[in-house]
Structure 1
């Protein structure tokens, strides 16, 4: 799908204009969403044409790599928030005269620094600020005598027995929460990653040359524990038949399908799930709450998952491309971008406007405390996290041993780079 924005003349004295034609590749969002933003930019910058191309997320990364290798890639392309380490060599950073590091840090939520800055250079700008949140079935919780969704993981654990139902064969007819497995839980590695961050896991050494996943810490009582193993044990308990929290297993349906069908009370996902549920389950009585935390009064930690825009190193017009990116990620630009479809904003000045919004407020507010962690290769790290879960749930390996195995694989990955 391609959209070519036409130049528009404006009144006033003639000013020297940049002349450039830029190709923008984007996933998920289509021309209806991009059109108001491009039109507004074109009106102020009539010398710059933006050719918008929507790409399928299923083939996007491979297609992008092939196009850049052939020298026929776009000027501007979308990157996931954890892609910078493996694709930085394909990008050109923002010129300080267009977007300074200080302006970037002042304008966006903190997690953008972690994901999009490298060596005091800016390699991308976010267009949204999505985070994991708790989707819950209001009817199921009410039927179980539960007035409010859980604010802490301890509260969630206490609800599982009240909600879970099984038949005479021991098969679940209603599950409390979709957790514990990998294949049938939407974004299982993200949920585990969030638990690790909340438990204080140190993922790497300071130089990022070795994994610290198996590094021990001390709790408030001075006892030694492995934060990553504690998170893994907590996550997998919900699929362990020997635990009182057993409520989900490998035979359960896909978590999103189960939630849409009213077979599970709670799942974790992002803002993008709302339009999907509207189509698949238009009469489902559900709500969205913030991701549970370790304690109700501690500092909140949420988990980021969003897309950003970057400029190709091959672009013949990098200044023009960055001029567009600066506008696209500004408060004015994002207001245009959200005209057709609301998205949680990555900017504190817009989050303050969105916090009370019924559709994106929970996600927008969560972006203020969102975290992520360095992934030398996002696909490889995700596979390691899936294997961690499977080692515990399918192979009966102890969580500490599963963490040790993952630690070794991450070290091999770091050495191969």
Structure 2
């Protein structure tokens, strides 16, 4: 039996050895980490080889690794050798190391190579959610940055106090400016002329004054501390001298500072009733001598009562604008108001008074000169051009026009004809918080284009607009039946602090000077002593001028 067992063991050993590959045919075992591009060789019982390439790139997580078993090729562990099918019953497993010849040892043992684990899939829904969140956050950051980076522009309001012009005339220009400057609003306030200066002075004193306000050309001494200087970029002294009438430049300049920009101009002129002159066969006068002669011829007296007057002169109670008329006579007569010559004052006062006292072409029983002329009972009437509106309103059918003012006889015919200016300007409050904007608006509205638009708009409402204050626009109105006479004499116009309807209040310079001149004229009408009357007048003039720092 022992011999049989020995024979059986020899047969089993022979079968196992025959099933193993020859030693010289075994390929070397290669570490798959040493060269990932070389094929791995697995040895099976059948002696066949299968190759598995390990790529350096990351496997696609959405493609599962190839299942070699599904292809009928079992993956054999290169370090495990299976016994043939006929020896499995004996449950014997041989270690490769025991079966290899000792003369060819196996190289360093390598780690087993396993298929790569499939990468975990990233849910598509989560990706979309993350992208949406990122987009929302970026959008919010962009919007917030845009919102925070955008400065809120504050709307600034410019308050403008003006006289005479209605909203319908000014509003189109205001709308045009606001359209070009959407962050600026112009608050236009038309003021009543009554007590206007006191109201303005009170507002300025309280620190509540308007940004822009109207003032009479004679108010500069009263408001010099409250008026801001016109910036050079708005108007320089050279611009004023070149483009505006000389009287405007002289009136609105104080100690080298330009203190205002007028939107209109006016002056005294002579209105004539064309029907009465035609009926009498007369032409309008050009000198004071001619005017005096014509006035006598045009005056009609019935039962000792004047029923038609040649001219309204000589009184103060019913001669509108007597201040401007007397000032014109004195200026033409060469009076220096800062140091008036008493004899020249006497001559001017006597000439003014002679029309009522000696010639008796006008007296205190007649209505105001404006009403008398509008009624067709006065041949010649002195007043600024704007009085034409009052006259037309009273009597739309009256046939009248204006002519240049009469002049005194000239020794030199080249001497210029003189007129007397009275007008309103626009200024900016020196304490305004929006001075730059206020001046920018005044620059816009005082431009040639704006003045023409304003004139056209006013013409639609009341017949004609204000005379252009710019000398470079004079030719546009020279032939106007009412305004032409004023424009012709504007280059040589003069002015002083004696004006009616200046509305500067009882303490204003016009009001105080008017009172002294009024007393002098009334004294002459009452046959009081001429020299004493003139002495009192001279003292009063110096006192008022000294009060405003104008005496020399």
Is TM more than 0.5 here?
yes
Corresponding residue for residue 394 of structure 2: 280
Q: What displacement does 1:374 show?
A: 5.2
Q: Which runs of 4+ in 1 moved over 6 A?
A: none
1:200 aligns with 2:334: yes
Provide the C-alpha distance between the structure 1 equivalents of 2:536 and 2:524, rounded to a whole number of angstroms.
12
Q: What displacement does 1:380 show?
A: 1.2
1:273-316 C-alpha deviation (Å, 9 max, x unpaired) = 11111110111111211111113744111000111000112210
Would you tell me which structure has more strand in proportion to its own residues?
1
1:131-171 C-alpha deviation (Å, 9 max, x unpaired) = 1111111121222221x111111110111221111122x11
Provide the C-alpha distance between the structure 1 equivalents of 2:422 and 2:285, rounded to a whole number of angstroms.
22
Provide the C-alpha distance between the structure 2 equivalents of 1:39 and 1:295, rounded to a whole number of angstroms.
51
Corresponding residue for residue 323 of structure 2: 189
* Worse-matched range after superposition: 53-62 or 381-390: 381-390
Over 3 Å counting, the alpha-carbon distance change for 1:232 and 1:108 in structure 2 is: same
Q: What displacement does 1:34 show?
A: 0.9
Corresponding residue for residue 207 of structure 2: 71
Does the 8 Å CA contact 1:214/1:403 hold for their aligned counterparts? no
* Worse-matched range after superposition: 110-119 or 349-358: 349-358
Corresponding residue for residue 466 of structure 2: 343
1:312-355 C-alpha deviation (Å, 9 max, x unpaired) = 12210111111222222221221122122221111111111111
| SS of aligned partner of 1:126 | coil
Over 3 Å counting, the alpha-carbon distance change for 1:193 and 1:63 in structure 2 is: same
Q: Equivalences for 1:236-247 in 2 at 5 Å?
A: 236-240=353-357, 243=358, 245-247=359-361
Q: Which has the higher contact order (CA 8 A, sep 6+)?
A: 1
| SS of aligned partner of 2:323 | helix
1:1-32 C-alpha deviation (Å, 9 max, x unpaired) = xxxxxxxxxxxxxxxx9963210001111111
* Worse-matched range after superposition: 288-297 or 112-121: 288-297
Q: Equivalences for 1:264-343 in 2 at 5 Å?
A: 264-295=378-409, 297=413, 298-341=415-458, 342-343=465-466
Corresponding residue for residue 151 of structure 1: 286
Q: What displacement does 1:395 show?
A: 4.6
Does the 8 Å CA contact 1:114/1:373 hold for their aligned counterparts? no
Corresponding residue for residue 544 of structure 2: 413
Corresponding residue for residue 481 of structure 2: 358
| SS of aligned partner of 2:224 | helix
- The count of aligned residue pairs is 378
Does the 8 Å CA contact 2:160/2:188 hold for their aligned counterparts? yes
Q: What displacement does 1:401 show?
A: 3.7
What is the TM-score normalised by the length of structure 2?
0.66
Name the larger-Rg structure. Answer: 2
What is the TM-score normalised by the length of structure 1?
0.86
Corresponding residue for residue 347 of structure 2: 230
1:22-64 C-alpha deviation (Å, 9 max, x unpaired) = 1000111111121233233334433332110001111321211
Cα RMSD (Å): 1.9
1:379 aligns with 2:511: yes
1:236-262 C-alpha deviation (Å, 9 max, x unpaired) = 10011xx2x221111221101111112
Unaligned runs of 5+ in 2: 1-152, 459-464, 499-507
| SS of aligned partner of 1:89 | coil
Does the 8 Å CA contact 1:129/1:364 hold for their aligned counterparts? no
Q: What displacement does 1:118 show?
A: 0.3
Q: What displacement does 1:105 show?
A: 1.5
Corresponding residue for residue 198 of structure 2: 62
Corresponding residue for residue 92 of structure 2: none
Provide the C-alpha distance between the structure 2 equivalents of 1:414 and 1:26, rounded to a whole number of angstroms.
27
1:396 aligns with 2:396: no
Does the 8 Å CA contact 2:159/2:189 hold for their aligned counterparts? yes
